[in-house]
Structure formats: C-alpha cells, structure tokens
C-alpha cells in the first residue's frame, strides 16, 4: 500500500530514549497524525517493537529485500574505496563502517510517496507543512545549516579528484546534514540510473 506522505526514522534499542524524544517532538509540533515508519538500524529492536506495537500510526519497516539491497550497495561502494579501507582497517573498524546508517535509503522503498527522514538524534521544532509543500516543487529538500570551514569533516581534501568533481568555490553551499532530508519516493530510480551509468 502506498501512502501520500509520511515520516521515516532510523533507530534501534541503543537510541530508544532519543526515539521517544523525537516521537514526542512530532506530536507536540502537529505531526501526530502523519504516519511514521521506523527503519531498523540493526537487529536490536526489542524495546522499539514493544513500544510501537500498540500504536496505530507507527510501523516498523520490514522489507528485508530493501535492507539487503542497500547494505549490498553500500558494501560494494565502500569496499571499492581503497583509501577508506586503509583508514578503517588501521582503526580496527569493520569492512563497512556504520553499515546500518546506509539503511536510511530504505525510505525510497517504503510506503510513502513524499517523506521526511529523521536520524534518531533529531527533534522536530515546527510544522512539517512547509516541507511537504516544497516537495510539490522539488524532488529533494535538505537543511544546509551544517556549514563547516574544515571540509575534511566531509571530504578528503588531499584527493586530486575532488576539484575535478566539485566546483570548490561552491562546495560549502552544497554540504548538508544527511541526518534530515525530505524527498519523493521515485527519486531513487532517477538517481540510481545516474549513479550506475
């Protein structure tokens, strides 16, 4: 079943308290009637499942094909990135660091035509009406508050390819926090066809 609009949240039991705070902020700021789908960061979901089971407007994302697709996609991308692999191995990290974070892309396989995505450590501070209205005009909406003077936070500035891919003068205005965004469901098919060309 496809719904016109909704909210996705990436969460597990580790961030249960943050999830409750986010859900409370949705209710307080007028989004209590918007359907919410929680994407599991990993399999530690017992507390989350128990909490949401009696709630009518909150569901758990259970499309395992989608989860496997995005984890496979992320694994292929990151294992082909030799420099990232060297750094992560030196730190003793897994083959793909924070693989669960890539599950946020399951939003594009869920039930909502238009959606807002929240990392669990985010709070809603006002109405989402303006965001859903912007999705009538645009395919993607992001909050660009996270300007950083040190681009090493986001990019490897020693890479010779960076200025070939990005206009360095405009780079700062194109960085956004991926912990919150809004998009349309069909955006995935357009972007994946572009990425794989």
CA-CA distance, 32 to 39, in Å (whole number)? 18
* Global confidence as pTM: 0.82
Please list the pLDDT of the chain residue by residue as tens digits (197 residues): 556 999 999 999 999 999 999 999 999 998 989 999 999 999 999 999 999 999 989 999 999 999 999 988 888 887 877 777 777 778 877 767 676 788 999 999 999 999 999 999 999 999 999 999 999 999 988 876 555 556 666 667 777 887 887 777 777 666 666 778 999 987 655 444 444 33
Catalogue all structural domains in the chain, each as residue range(s) with its CATH number: 3-150+177-195 (3.90.550.10)
Q: How far is CA 167 from CA 55, 171, 174, in A?
A: 47, 6, 10
CA-CA distance, 47 to 17, in Å (whole number)? 10
CA-CA distance, 49 to 4, in Å (whole number)? 24
């Amino acid at each position: 079943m496809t719904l016109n609009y909704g909210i996705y949240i990436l969460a597990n039991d580790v961030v249960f308290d943050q999830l409750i705070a986010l859900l409370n902020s949705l209710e307080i700021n007028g989004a209590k009637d918007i359907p919410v789908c929680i994407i599991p960061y990993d399999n530690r979901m017992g507390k989350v499942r128990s909490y949401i089971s009696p709630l009518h407007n909150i569901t758990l994302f259970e499309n395992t094909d989608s989860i496997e697709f995005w984890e496979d996609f992320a694994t292929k991308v990151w294992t082909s990135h030799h420099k990232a692999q060297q750094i992560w191995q030196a730190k003793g990290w897994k083959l793909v660091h924070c693989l669960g974070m890539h599950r946020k892309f399951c939003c594009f396989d869920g039930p909502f035509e238009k959606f807002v995505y929240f990392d669990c450590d985010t709070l809603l501070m006002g109405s989402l009406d303006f965001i859903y209205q912007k999705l009538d005009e645009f395919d993607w909406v992001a909050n660009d508050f996270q300007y950083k003077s040190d681009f090493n936070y986001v990019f490897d500035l020693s890479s010779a390819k960076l200025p070939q891919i990005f206009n360095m003068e405009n780079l700062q205005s194109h960085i956004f926090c991926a912990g919150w965004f809004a998009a349309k469901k069909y955006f995935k098919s357009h972007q994946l066809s572009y990425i794989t060309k």
